Structure 1
């Protein structure tokens, strides 16, 4: 189980796949306020002087909205990284797979992560599982993540809330501490 105590070193905020292309998905989604929660956490991290990692999916499929050179691959304007913040590009769901993320974190002495973004059962869950398996204390902010309606393996339609809740249940207690945006801000109120 991954647990996160009060930090003795900076905690990194990982924002996953908050690109313009995700806004083009026409399926119903949950957590309509997730982007505002993410913006709140990003500003809190900047105020603390802690590291932000902006993770961008770059598809290998030329017809994807996340293909290089298309507006869908760009970050959403309100969640745009600042010039000094780390931008990591990934080609698969897991931000640690085939990337320099683990090394980047270790070089900076970062052992604790807070994860937000999209999609709850996809890149968020995959990244959180690997983070925990690599020994990072991992928090996932449930109201700063979201997903879309999906059909389950048996062919049953599931709402975005159901898909999201199952993803959070998969992570809770085994791979991450699943928390609210408010609790993260309160926990890390004045750590700098």
Structure 2
């Protein structure tokens, strides 16, 4: 196995701009951290893997024209995978692509922290990959619990994701931690 990690950039796509829950509050920090990670990966020769989410209808449908990277995402990437489920492995050839290159380590970033990013981290770990989960390079939105009506802000959700992933499925890292390690 190579010591070179692959950076997974999950679902950072125009589709989200049409979602009823879209908010700009945390976007500036997310954008800054993700761009730093992409720029560093590119400079270090780490593969950048773009993942796009597709559905059969709505703003995630290919026909919508919105299943494209957000305008500020650099074109730097080595491969694109399109998924129809929450994780980036099921139904794609991502695992084979990584293994063909001897990559056993992935760095997870993207949108939504607790959905596609967390699920991808769990599956990657179950498949035997080492996983660095860079929470600050993920984005999510407030949610209301359907049963209790309790409100969870984006930071609450990120903290919960770190709690359930850390030491079980991933190492929780900052961008600077990841860059210092590699």
Partner of 1:99: 92
For this pair of structures, how many residues does the alignment match? 179
- For 2:110 and 2:124, the matched residues in 1 are separated by 15
> Given that residues 121 and 163 in structure 1 are in contact (C-alpha distance below 8 angstroms), is that contact kept between their aligned partners in structure 2?
yes
Q: Report whether the alignment pairs 1:148 with 2:141.
A: yes
- 1:74 deviates by 1.0
Q: Does 1:185 align with 2:174?
A: no
Relative contact order: is structure 1 or structure 2 higher (C-alpha 8 Å, sep ≥ 6)?
1
State the 1:80 CA deviation. 3.9
Corresponding residue to 2:60 among 63, 66, 74: 66
Give 1:41 shift.
0.8
What is the TM-score when the length of structure 2 is the normalising length? 0.91
CA shift, 1:31, in A, is 3.7
- Aligned-residue Cα RMSD (Å) equals 1.8
Tell me, yes or no, if the aligned pair for 2:2 and 2:103 is still in contact at 8 Å.
no
Bigger drift between 150-159 and 49-58 goes to 150-159
Match of 2:51 in 1: 55
Tell me, yes or no, if structure 1 residue 168 matches structure 2 residue 159. Answer: no
Gaps of 5+ in 2: none
SS of corresponding position for 2:62: coil
Under a length normalisation based on structure 1, what TM-score does the superposition of the two structures give? 0.86
**What residue number does 1:128 align with?**
121
Deviation at 1:72, TM superposition (A): 2.1
Please list every run of 5 or more consecutive structure 1 residues that lacks an aligned counterpart in the other structure: 1-6
Match of 1:86 in 2: 79
The offset of 1:125, in angstroms, is 0.6
Q: Report which stretch shifted further, 152-161 or 45-54.
A: 152-161
Q: Distance in 2 between matches of 1:187 and 1:24?
A: 37
